[in-house]
Amino acid sequence: MNKRLQMLLQITQTDAGDAFAWYGLAMEYRRVGQTEDALRTFETLRSTFPDYLAGYLMAGQVLIEAERSSDAVVWIEQGIALAEKQGNQQALGELQDALSQAQN
C-alpha cells in the first residue's frame, strides 16, 4: 500500500467528518486501479456528504471506465440535479458531458 493511501485511510478513520479526505481516498483508489474500493468510498462519501458535488462526476467516470454505464448514469443524473440545485454551472456542464459519454 502506498503512503498516500495509508495517510488518507488514517485521516478518514480518525476524522470521518472530512469530505475532502473521503474524496481523496476514492480518487487514490481510482489512481492505483482499485475500482471497487474507489466505488465503495464514493458510496460512503455520497451517504455521509450528499452535497459534495465532485464525487458524483468522479464516481460516474470510474463507472464509465469500468464499463458500467447504467450505474454511471444514475450517479451522474444525481449530480446534475445537485449541480442545478447549487447553481454550479461549471459542474453542470461537466456532468452533462459525462452523461453523454455514459449514454454512448
Does residue 1 carry a pLDDT above 80?
Answer: no
| Euclidean distance between CA atoms 11 and 13, whole angstroms | 5
The pLDDT confidence band at residue 17, using thresholds 50, 70 and 90, is confident
CATH number of the domain within which 73 lies: 1.25.40.10
- Is-contact 50 35, C-beta < 8 A? no
Type of residue at 79: G
Domain that holds residue 18: 3-103
pLDDT digit string, tens, across residues 51-74: 999 999 999 999 999 999 999 999
| Euclidean distance between CA atoms 10 and 29, whole angstroms | 14
Please give the tally of structural domains in the chain. Answer: 1
